[in-house]
Every structure is written in structure tokens, then in C-alpha cells.
Amino acid sequence: MSDNCGNLSVDFLAGFTIFIIAFIWVATMIPGLLIGLQVHNIDYDAVAYRTGVILVEDPGAAGKVIGGAPCYSGSDVSTVTGPWESQSDKCHIARFGLAVSKDTPGILDENKVNRFFCWTVSADPNDRENFSYPIDYQERAIFGDYPYRFNISLKVVGEERVRSIGDVIPEGDYGYIRRDVQIKGSSNATINKTIIQTKYWSKENVTADVFTIHLNCTKLLGDIRQSPHQVDYRGYQIDPGLDNIIINITDLNTLHYPTSKTTTNLSGITINPGNMPLGAQYTYIDGNATPVGTLPSNVMSNISLVFPAGKVISDSMEVASPQLYITLTFKNTNPDPTINGTYGDWFLNSSMSGPFEYDYNLENVTQPQLQNGVLEVAVW
Amino acid sequence: MVNTEGQLYTIEGFAAALIMLMTAYLVVNATSIYTPGDTHISDMQLEVLGSDALAMINTAPNGTSESPLQTIVETNDGDMFGQIFNNIVNNRTKPGQDHIQFMANVSYVKSDNTVSSTTLLDKTRSLSGGEHAVRVSEWVIVEKKFPDSDSLRKRAVLVEVLLWRD
Amino acid sequence: MAGLNDDAQWIVLMGFLVSFSLFFLAMVLNQSVVVGQTTAEAVSEFPKDDIRGVRGVIIQSAYMDNPDRTGVQNDIRTLSLIRQNSVVSFSNTTNGAYTYIEIHYNNGVTVYNETWRSP
């Protein structure tokens, strides 16, 4: 006699089936809830704010990028010195930051701004200097595991151009922050006829007229740290080790007296201490766009010495010293027959009056200007 | 032949399925995903902007002169403040200005050690209800005599600006 | 009640289990949405600009001469307390070429202490 009693009753099967079908249906529906919750969406404004703070309030750091790819062989990260904007190898830059110092948030350094905005799209592994979008910026300013795309734009008030890095801002959802900043420019000294004739114009019977410019680094670094700028002095300071130093000497063709000469022979420029001859790579004559090749050279009316960030100290001297003297030597080529055949005519000469002081005196030196600007960061 | 004995499991299974479906329905209806653009984020952006602008006005143009904000508070020049602040805070990298309205006052300490405020700049537009306004402040040291304070002396004051977006 | 067959209770219990876990999931989702908002709240709540501003005027006041100095320092304490809801206390000492200023700031949520040395 066959027994058609099974272990499981039909009743059980029916009930269990209904339960399982309902369970499967609910289980497949619930993950649909999670689709609307994209983690990165919520983060955009926070990442944009953080990037804004890093760029505007932090001076940046040189060194190895934390967690980045190893530097190519031959590049020694452990001996990196100097600020990040002067590193020629981008592997030696750990973090971007445009502020002049950590005590001057909101005041940006123009050298840092110029370096930051040098970017390309292609990631050429042989290009160690230009930054490539987006990877170099993600590692040094945006941070985070997710590869955010971004656009960073800077506009200086009064200028038409907008410098920007990155993609065009999309129509949809993106995180955004806007910061108002000031950009610190460089100081410069324009030594024109008025200044020269007041103090540095003399009639010496010499074969060569000598004009010296004195940078008293101790005074330059120390004088500005007085009340009320003990904290934010770096926004007003002339630091020969970090800032651009520009010296313009003009109106040279009007200075010869009694006989006027159209050209003068600039025979050499040296930097003391060390008596190093200054390479002609920083000397621009008569408004030429390229530096003069070699000295001696003939000058008609202007000489410009343009030392980019810190080069007046780093490139030009064997021995670092708190006192710098830049000496220009003008050779008197022909004796002047009208003055008894001697060399004695009036010209630019600082031997009697003392060197020209490059300091915080507003009459001599144009102080670093602060220009207003707007920085916008968009992240998506 | 047919009786009601086998309905036990079926009924229980049915009940369980019903419970799960009701819960799922409730859950799906209840959770709503907020868009990130909620008030806290826009308040933060406005506050950062206002702080930056005030800090810029309080920065001296060179190492020897005083900051524009000091001069403005000492001469109570509200219009100048309005002009400068408006230019800074509504500036954008794209062409065209933003629309941020503001009002400003100066808080100082009276001779009886209580705090009082004077208006530096009246509102640029009426503040209607429902608009989120943020307040930013900046410390300035000025030499000034306020109406109900003792004398002309150097004092620390707080310039407070209320900002809102149009 | 002895006759009730409760063999199938486990099916209903499984059903309940699933529904409770659904509720839990819904609560987790609800809380996670406020992540973005909370970050912005935290930014607004941290008194970065207040601290920077107070620190700047405290350091300036330490270099003032005496009739002005007490007035300004009193102003700083009073205004900080009344307008910014924070307690500041500070003192300075001079040791050789350097001036040291000790600054304490507390607004109930954030505490900031610093010993500043002149450059």
C-alpha cells in the first residue's frame, strides 16, 4: 500500500511560497532607494570650501606628495629647500597654497599665482614643470579618494583676463565657493632724473662712474615687523630672498653735462659681497624684451635690473650675507676735450653721496601693491 | 475530503508577506532625499564671503598708512563703506554682479561698561521675512569719541555686517 | 490553547525580521542624508574669523602705551563677551628681546590657547 504522505505538507508549501515571493520582491525593490543617494553629490560644496581654504589661507608646502607616485629616479626629495613655487620639478611640491604666509590669509603671492596657473591638459611624463589637469591638482589641492573634476578661476579687479584651470562648469549640480583676495605685487625702484639730480649726480674726475644700490636685508626683514604689523608683516615686506626685486634707471641720456652724450658704456655689474659679476640674464637695456647678451654694452637711456623671486640672493652670490651691494660701472670712454681733456663731466655717481637705499622709503621705492581679486572654485 | 486542517502554514505565510510589503511601502514613502543645496551650505558660503570682504577692507594698503576701515569708522563714512563693500562682495569672475544686500553697524563699549551700537550703514534693501541673513564681524582699533562714551581715546570696536542674498 | 498548532510561527517571525531590518535601513538612510549639511554647520560653528580677529587686536594692544592699553583691553574683553559670546583672557610678559603674549579664548564650544612670541 503506497503512502502518499510526504514530509512537507502542501499547506506548508503554499505558505512558504507566498512568503518567499514577497521577500524576493521586497529585496529587489529596496536597493532602488540607495540609487538616489550618491555620496559624492553631497560632498561637492564641502570639497569646494576646503579647496578654497587651502588655496587662499595656506602658503603651500614643498616636499613629496603624500601617497603620490614615486618621483622619477634621480630626483632627491629629501634635500628640497625653498618655497614650492621655485621648485623646478613638480614632484617636489607637496601641496599648493597661494597665501603669502600662514599669518596673512587672503593675501596671495603673485609668484605663487603665476606658477599655479601654468597647466596643460596632456600628462606628458617628461614635462616636470607644468602641471597637468586634473591629476596634479587633485593630488596637491583637491585631495580625496574620488576623482573630482573642478574649475578654479581668478580675476583681478581692473584686468579683463580671467585665469582659470579645469573644465567648463557644467549646467547641473556642482559645489561652489567664492573667495575675495588681495594679490601682493612686487616692489620696484625707479631711479629717474629727479632722484639722480638730487643726490647721485656728481662731477668726478674718474675713468669710470660707479653707482651702487644697497639692499640692507636685515633692515628690510626687520623694520616692517613693528606695530601694528607684527602679525601680518609678510603682506608688506620686501624680502630679497623670496620676492621680485626690480630696479629701473632711466633718463641716462640727459645726465651728461656739459656735453651731452647719447650713449654711455655700461662696462659691468657686480654684486658684493663676493664681487660676483652679475650675469647679464637679469639686465635689460633700453626697453628691449630680451636681456642683454654680454657686458660691456652701450646704453642709451634706460637700464632695468629684474631679479625674479629671490634670485638676487640665490643666484648672484657665493656667500650669503645680510648686506647686498649691486654696483653698476659706467666707463668714460673718451676724455672730454672741452674740459681740459679730462674725464670730469657730470654723470650718475654714488661714490660721494653713498649708495641708493632700496628700503621702505616711499620716495625712493614703490612699495608692493595689494590688488583686489576674486577666486572661484567649482567642484563636481 | 476537503477540510480546513491544512491552512495553517498558508495563513502564516500570507501574514508574513503582508507585513513585509506594508513595511516596504512605508519605508519607500517616508525617506526623502534632501538636495544638498540646503540653507546651511548657502549660509556658509555667504559668511565666508562677508568675512573675506571685511578683512580686505581692514587691510592697510602699505606698511605705514591705516586701513580704510579704520578711516571709515573714525569719520563715520557709511556711504564709502557701502560702496567699497558692495564692489568687493558682489564681484565675480564672470561678467555681471552678484546680488548681495547688507547693513552695517559698529559696536563699542560705553563709559559704564555696557555695549552699544551705532549704525554705520543702513540696509541697502529692506529685509523681508524668510530670507537667511548671516552676520560677520571685524575688530578694529580706532581713535574716536562715540556719542555716549567718555572721551576721545583709542578703543577696540566691532564692525558688524549683516548680509543676505537677494 | 493547547490545541493550537504553532509550528508555522517561524514564517511570521521571518516576516517580522525582514520588516524590522527595513525600518532600520530607512533610519540609516535618513541620517546619512544630513552629512552634507552637517559639514556646513561645522564650518559655520567654528569661530575661525572671531579667533583671528581677537588675536590680532590683542597682539596690537600689547604694544600700546598705558592709558590707551587698559581701555582697549577692557573693550576687547567686554565686546567679546557681549557680542561674540566668548570669554577671552590674555596677559603679556617681556623676556629679553621677545614679548610673549598668552591668549585664552573660550566660546563654550571651542577653546583656543596660544602663547605668541614676537618675531
- C60, C116, C117, best to mutate vs chain A, most A CBs in 10 Å: C60
Q: Give yes or no: residues A132 and A242 share one domain.
A: no
Query: What pLDDT is recorded for position A70?
Result: 67
User: Average pLDDT for residues A68-74, to the nearest whole number?
Assistant: 66
* A377 inside domain: no
Counting every residue written for chain B, the total comes to 166
Residues of B in contact with C43 (CB under 8 A): 44
Q: What mean pLDDT is predicted for residues B104-111?
A: 90
Q: Which residue of B has its CA nearest to C32?
A: B33
Indicate the pairing of strand A323-331 with strand A264-272.
antiparallel
pLDDT value at B134 more than 80: yes
- The pLDDT of residue B37 is above 50: no
Contact partners for chain C, using 3 or more CB pairs closer than 8 A, are: A, B
* Nearest CA among A153, A172, A157 for reference residue A378: A153
Of C22, C26, C8, B3, whose CA–CA distance to A18 is shortest? C8
Q: Which of A184, A202, A237 is the last residue of a domain?
A: A184
Residue of A nearest to B31 (CA): A33
Mean pLDDT is highest, among A157-171, A225-239, B116-130, for A157-171
Residue A23 grid coordinates? 521577500
Contact A178 B33 (CB under 8 A): no
State the number of CA atoms in the 13 A half-sphere of A202 facing the CB: 15
Beta strands in B91-152 (DSSP E): 100-109, 115-121, 133-144
Instruction: Note whether residue A30 is domain-resident.
Output: no
- Is A51 a residue whose pLDDT tops 80? yes
My answer on whether A267 and A178 are in the same domain is no
Rounded to 5 degrees, φ, ψ at A176 are -150, 140
Cα distances (Å, whole numbers) of residue A327 to A252, A331, C57: 16, 13, 43
Q: Subunits touching B (CB < 8 Å, at least 3 pairs)?
A: A, C
Question: Which of A143, A168, A184 marks a domain boundary?
Answer: A184
Residue of B nearest to A163 (CA): B93
Asked which of A140-149, A277-286, B76-85, C91-100 is least confident by mean pLDDT, the reply is A277-286
What's the alpha-carbon Rg for chain B, to the nearest Å? 30
Q: What pLDDT shows up at residue B32?
A: 60
Can you give the pLDDT at residue A177?
93
- CA distances in angstroms from B60 to A236, B72, B153, C11, listed in the order given: 9, 12, 21, 77
**In the structure, what pLDDT confidence band is assigned to residue B36 with cuts at 50, 70 and 90?**
very low
Among A29-43, A70-84, B87-101, the least confident range: A29-43
Quote the CA–CA distance of B27 and B7 in Å, as a whole number. Answer: 30
**B32: phi then psi, degrees, rounded to nearest 5:** -120, 135
Residues of B in contact with A30 (CB under 8 A): 24, 27
d(CA A291, CA A288): 7
A127 and A167 within one domain: yes
Averaged over B117-141, what is the pLDDT? 82
The pLDDT-based confidence of B137 (bands split at 50, 70, 90) is very high
Same domain, A168 and A314: no
Measured in angstroms, the CA of B89 and the nearest CA of chain A are apart by 7
Average pLDDT in the A280-289 region? 83
A301 versus B70: the higher-pLDDT residue is B70
pLDDT band (50, 70, 90) for residue B112: confident
In chain A, residues with a C-beta closer than 8 Å to the C-beta of B85 are none
Q: Yes or no: say if A40 and B35 are a contact pair by the CB < 8 Å rule.
A: no
Judge if A218 and A200 occupy the same domain. yes
Q: Could you tell me what percent of chain A has a pLDDT over 70?
A: 84
Q: Residue C22: pLDDT above 90?
A: no
Concatenating the DSSP letter of every residue in A353-371 gives: T-PEE-SS-TTTEEPPPEE
| Model confidence pLDDT, tens digit, residues A103-134 | 999 999 999 999 999 888 776 777 778 888 88
Q: Are residues A180 and A198 in the same domain?
A: no
| Domain contains A21 | no
The helix-helix angle for B39-57 and A39-57 (nearest 10°) equals 10
Distance CA C75, CA B113 (A): 8
Q: Provide the residue range defining the domain that includes A268.
A: 187-366
Q: What are phi and psi of B66, to 5 degrees?
A: -90, 165
Q: What is the pLDDT of residue A348?
A: 82
Shared domain for A89 and A122, answered yes or no, is yes
pLDDT at position A36: 56
**How many Cα atoms within 13 Å fall on the side-chain side of residue A217?**
17
A166 and A208 belong to one structural domain: no
Given A124, A154, A184, which residue is the final one in a domain?
Answer: A184
Vertex C80: Cα angle to C78 and C86 (nearest 5): 120
User: How many independent structural domains does chain A possess?
Assistant: 2
**pLDDT, mean over chain A:** 82
Residues A160 and A206 in one domain: no
State phi, psi for B139 to the nearest 5 degrees. Answer: -85, 135
Residues A78 and A142 in one domain: yes
Instruction: Check if the beta carbon of residue C22 is closer than 8 Å to that of residue B27.
Output: yes
Average pLDDT over residues A49-66: 90
The verdict on residue A258 lying in a domain is yes
pLDDT above 80 for A72:
no
Min mean pLDDT across A179-193, A277-291, C80-94 is at A277-291
Sketch the domain layout of chain C as residue ranges.
9-44, 47-117
Q: For residue A257, what is the DSSP state?
A: B
Do A179 and A197 have their domain in common?
no
Cell 556719542 belongs to which residue? Answer: B147
What's the mean pLDDT when you consider all of chain B?
Answer: 84
Question: Region A307-319: what's the mean pLDDT?
Answer: 67
Flag whether pLDDT at B63 surpasses 50. yes
**Cα B25 to Cα A189: distance, rounded to the nearest angstrom:** 77
